[in-house]
Amino acid sequence: MSNEEVFFKWLPDYSVHIQAIDDQHKELVNILNRLFIAVSKREGDSAIAGILDALMCYTQTHFSQEERLMREAKYKDLDAHIEEHRKLIEKLDSLTKKYLLEEKPIYFEMLSFLKTWLREHIQGADMKYSAALRQAGFAVDDWEIEASAEMSRMTNSKSWWKVWKAA
């Protein structure tokens, strides 16, 4: 992906200092950038629908893992964090339905919304739980091994992921 095709550039400031989470956040940024390329090159409905599917599935898996980590660490603001996740999934679902069912162009609305949401969520809510876990001395090593294995199983079992990675 060339620099002119990057809609959302990953910066070191976005690191939550948990490698598995950072890797997942980077992949979400990659999916967002891929959506931007598909839209800007007018790749067609099937390509865009596939990217939206990848975005939704990957986001849900990421949220599930992140919430499990916070639950295991007994993070005090877990409920508020889960609510943020729920609202994003609801908005993504709404935008996707608007696109698929009503055939309305949602690309730029979705791109703008996701870029802002992801950046603010990582630098806000995710940084808070990451700092709280480090301050509490919660070791993430075992969780990271389990999360990486789960993500690998998910990506190996989804046929769209093979297509996604090839694009």
Tell me the whole-structure pTM to 2 decimals.
0.86
Per residue in 93-117, pLDDT (tens digit) is 888 888 878 877 788 888 999 999 9
Selection from 51, 34, 53, 69 nearest residue 139 by Cα? 69
pLDDT at residue 76, as a whole number? 95
All domains in the chain, ordered by first residue = 18-166 (1.20.120.50)
Residue with tokens 């975005």: 55
Per DSSP, helices labelled H in the chain are: 19-40, 45-72, 78-100, 107-121, 127-136, 141-157, 159-166
**What does the angle CA 68 – CA 72 – CA 75 come to, to the nearest 5 degrees?**
95
Give residue 45's pLDDT: 74
pLDDT band for position 70 (50/70/90)? very high
Task: Identify whether the C-beta of residue 92 lies closer than 8 Å to the C-beta of residue 121.
Answer: no
Per-residue pLDDT tens digits for 22-59: 999 999 999 999 989 988 888 877 777 788 888 888 89
